[in-house]
Amino acid sequence: MSSISIVIVNFNSGAFLEAAIDSLRRLTPSSELIVIDNASSDSSVDFLKPHRGLIFVKLDENYGFGAASNIGAAKATNDLILFLNPDAFLPEGTLRKMTEYLAAHPESGLCGALLLDLQGREQAGSRRYDPTLLRSCGKVARSISPFPILPTFDRHDEALPETSVHVDAISGACMMVRRQVHEQIGGFDEGYFLHFEDLDYCRRAREQGWNIGFVPDAPVFHYQGGSGVTTEISLLRHKEQGLRRYLDKFGAQGALPHAIRSFILSLLVVIGRLLVSAASNRRKQHPWQPSRRIDSSAIKIGQTLTGQEPAVLVFGARSDVGDAVNARLNARGLRTVSVTRHPDAVRTSPLASTIHPEMVVRNYIGAGLNAVAVVSLCPIWELSVYEKFLGSFLGNRTPWIVLSSTSAVTKMESNGERAPGIASRLRQGEEWLARFRSGASQATIVLRPTLIYGGVRNRNINKIKAIARYSRIRLDLEFAEGRRQPIHCDDIAEWTTALLSRALAESGKARPANTKSPVTLVELSGGETVSFVEMVNRTQAAACVGGVKLRCSRRSVRFLFSLVNWVPWFNEVPKDFVSRLEKDFLFSNNKALALQPQSLRRFYP
């Protein structure tokens, strides 16, 4: 890899700067590090001491990003300069891919990385068109409505290219430039204080005949907001000033175009201030929901996503079992990364973080996540959606525990409209997994639990509780003698984490070459066998003291469910529900407990 001069502009970046320097020293020890401090008032630069390979300049006031970057570039001695934000986290290989791109493309004067947020989604500034007045209106419109009413200069909603491409502009958060190009265009325009100076830089480079490269397999995780003591209003003001300067510089000239531009931009500023005010009011109404993670947590997340911290990858964490699995893995000192579209609905701890499915479906190229195991709690048939990521990135080196369901057996013969379909999809998911993991060197366990209860999201038991609580009626289904083995969600979590911990401990031991571990299917049921009527009685007693006891015959229950089957709350109930109440659905724990012994609790809803 060619020698690089890395320029970092710091302003009140807290612990981000030290984390960035430590990471760069590990990733590229031969590179020249240049830190320019814009008169920070915090202690973010106190740890820095100039030494061989590191140049530190502390400015007497905040001159802005562009001016500070120019000061840093002037001290660079290498042919390649990387402008890098202190809150950017680089996976191993990203710098190498960027330098290789410039070596292979002499027509490109600079290149940018795939900029991802700490959820793994591409950030708006990652690759862009040149801003115009219309595209600026479109960007503001996207802040109000997700629908593409007008075009915008951001390209992160476009399909991610499979190979490097030329774009109009990239982000200054991670921008690699030939020193020759920087000197040729005169560096950053210091008339910008913050925002739009990178867009201006790229445009002037293109005007000099250079191409701008975007390298999609060189990811960078960017916190965006690591420079502290900056209010949203001041950021909005800097964006407004930067956009005005850019459009006045590159837009249509003359008094009339300037007047039209000024009027429309003033309207956009008003809309922007209203959006900032609305967001601030929402935070005041929900003060218990912090809008940002504290520095130490964000840094740990960035380090985990770039492979510096090993983690267990969890699918389907937004569930009762998911809450318990995350908690138990974290209690054992294992860091977890959960894939979810709803991070606020996943219970987290200092050792837990979340990523968006977009990262493992779209943005996985070059991902640096060091996943030591996989736990899947989502519907098993959904795992195939992530096949490319799981195959090309994780391979077969990690142990897997995948949740299925005994419904693959019990619902196969059901007369309900949905039940056979669910059973079929469960079996298809299990068959796909068996094919996919056929060459795995580590264990793959498919776990079929029985009826799950416990937690706040459980639909079956909680529906019975809700009916008893709100109606004050306790149903006596005396005919429902079919036996069940309900299992608590935390028992599943305990068994899963204990088995996984043992598998991880054994994975470091020497194994014969080309060893393959077969996919193992096991069933896990609760520690007590109870009839359905007893299960309902205990559940109702837990939810409602007293109330009216209503004895129900088989015929009356069948009639009742025929009436309410169209209600959304009951439309999942199979049509043969009543006859199923008299059937036994029992499974053996022997195989599961042989793998991982455990004492399973009795049914206490």
pLDDT, tens digit (0-9, with 9 covering 90-100), for 493-542: 999 999 999 988 887 654 555 556 788 999 999 999 999 989 988 888 88
Q: How far apart are CA 520 and CA 398, in angstroms?
A: 15
Q: What pLDDT does 32 receive?
A: 94
Q: How far apart are CA 272 and CA 152, in angstroms?
A: 16
Closest to 83 in 3D by CA, of 105, 102, 104, 68 = 68
Q: How far apart are CA 268 and CA 142, in angstroms?
A: 12
Q: How many CB atoms lie within 10 A of CB 564?
A: 11
State the helix-helix crossing angle for 255-285 and 133-144, rounded to 10 degrees: 20
Report the SS3 class of residue 451.
coil
102 CB-near residues (< 8 Å, 6+ apart): 80, 108, 110, 111, 176, 178, 213
pLDDT band (50, 70, 90) for residue 289 = very low
Q: Is residue 582 within a helix (H) or strand (E), and if so which, with residue range? A: none
Give me the numbers of helices (H) and strands (E) for the chain, helices first please.
Answer: 20, 24
CB 480, CB 536: distance < 8 Å: yes
DSSP state, 382? G
Beta bridge partners of 221: 89, 116
Structure tokens belonging to residue 414: 């059901």
Closest to 335 in 3D by CA, of 367, 308, 363 = 308
DSSP state, 169? E
Closest to 168 in 3D by CA, of 207, 218, 117, 216 = 207
Beta bridge partners of 165: 214
Q: What pLDDT does 570 receive?
A: 58
Q: Is residue 142 within a helix (H) or strand (E), and if so which, with residue range? A: helix 133-144
Q: Is residue 292 within a helix (H) or strand (E), and if so which, with residue range? A: none
Structure tokens belonging to residue 91: 């996976």
CB 21, CB 44: distance < 8 Å: no
Q: How far apart are CA 483 and CA 502, in angstroms?
A: 33
Report the SS3 class of residue 423.
helix
Strands 127-128 and 169-170 come out as antiparallel
Q: Is residue 117 within a helix (H) or strand (E), and if so which, with residue range? A: none
Q: What percent of the chain has pLDDT over 70?
A: 90
What is the rounded end-to-end Cα distance, in angstroms, of the chain? Answer: 61
State the helix-helix crossing angle for 232-250 and 255-285, rounded to 10 degrees: 160
Question: What integer is the mean pLDDT of 345-354?
Answer: 86
Q: What pLDDT does 438 receive?
A: 87
For residue 573, pLDDT over 90 is answered with no
Distance of CA 314 to the CA centre of its chain: 11
For residue 395, pLDDT over 70 is answered with no
Q: How does 295-322 read in b/e, with b if 16+ C-beta sit within 10 Å?
A: bebbbbbbbbbbbbbebbbbbbbbbbbb
Q: How far apart are CA 43 and CA 56, in angstroms?
A: 15
Instruction: Provide Rg for the chain, Cα atoms.
Output: 29
Structure tokens belonging to residue 97: 């891919």
Most confident residue range from 29-43, 96-110, 361-375: 96-110
More confident residue, 376 or 555: 376
**Mean residue pLDDT across the chain:** 87
More confident residue, 142 or 57: 57
Q: Using alpha carbons only, give the angle 124, 128, 130 rounded to the nearest 5 degrees.
A: 135
Q: How does 157-195 read in b/e, with b if 16+ C-beta sit within 10 Å?
A: eeebeeebeebbbbbbbbbbbbeebbeebebbbbebbbb
Structure tokens belonging to residue 21: 């320097």
Question: What integer is the mean pLDDT of 60-77?
Answer: 95
201: buried, middle or exposed (CB in 10 Å: 19+, 13-18, 0-12)? buried
pLDDT band (50, 70, 90) for residue 210 = very high
For residue 575, pLDDT over 80 is answered with no
Structure tokens belonging to residue 437: 């993991």
Q: How far apart are CA 407 and CA 429, in angstroms?
A: 13
Q: How far apart are CA 375 and CA 379, in angstroms?
A: 12
Closest to 343 in 3D by CA, of 91, 494, 16, 118 = 118
pTM of the model as a whole? 0.87
Report the SS3 class of residue 469.
helix
Q: What percent of the chain has pLDDT over 90?
A: 53
pLDDT in tens, 165-194: 999 999 999 999 999 999 999 999 999 998
CB 269, CB 236: distance < 8 Å: yes
Q: What pLDDT does 321 receive?
A: 94
CB 55, CB 34: distance < 8 Å: yes
More confident residue, 410 or 356: 356
Structure tokens belonging to residue 117: 């947020």
Could you give phi then psi for residue 524, rounded to 5 degrees?
-135, 120
For residue 572, pLDDT over 90 is answered with no
For residue 433, pLDDT over 90 is answered with yes
Q: What pLDDT does 170 receive?
A: 97
Domain with CATH 3.40.50.720 in the chain: 310-595
Which of the residue ranges 9-18, 333-342, 502-511 would you say has the lowest mean pLDDT?
A: 502-511
Q: How does 346-377 read in b/e, with b if 16+ C-beta sit within 10 Å?
A: bebeebbbbbbbbbbebbbbbbbbbbbbbbbb
Strands 400-403 and 371-376 come out as parallel
Question: What integer is the mean pLDDT of 375-379?
Answer: 94
State the amino acid at position 145 in one-letter form: S
For residue 164, pLDDT over 80 is answered with yes
CATH topology of domain 4-127+162-222: Spore Coat Polysaccharide Biosynthesis Protein SpsA; Chain A (3.90.550)
Q: According to CATH, what is the number of the domain 310-595?
A: 3.40.50.720
